[in-house]
Amino acid sequence: MRSRNLFIHLKLLIVAAIWGGGWVAGRVLALDAPPLTGALIRYMIALPLFFIWLRFTTGVKLPSMSQLKIVIAIGFYSTFVYQALFMFGMKYTAAGDASLMITF
């Protein structure tokens, strides 16, 4: 039981490190590349990893065609628009400041 708890805490620590590193990576990308290019690079890395995870996860149900329109709209506004504004904002502020602003 103790080793299982340790494994869960280790996974949480890895997620926090990856999440926190995203702010620094966003700032570096925003300084060297146009904002939408930075967002594209982030998703070119994340999308294949997501599909690999999806492939090996059991019980995943894909949306129906009627639900697909809603999923696309949610994805556009909550992912594309958010990432575009995030990358534009990273040009003008420090990564630490941005991470604090987004939490409130």
User: Mind listing the pLDDT tens digit for each residue in 76-86?
Assistant: 888 788 878 87
Q: What is the mean pLDDT of residues 46-57?
A: 82
- The pLDDT assigned to 10 comes to 93
Average pLDDT, the chain: 81
pLDDT in tens, 8-21: 999 999 998 888 88
- The pLDDT assigned to 14 comes to 92
Three-class secondary structure assignment of 35-87 = HHHHHHHHHHHHHHHHHHHHHHCCCCCCCCHHHHHHHHHHHHHHHHHHHHHHH
Q: Where are the domains of the chain?
A: 2-103
Can you tell me the distance from the alpha carbon of 30 to that of 39, in angstroms, rounded to the nearest whole number?
9
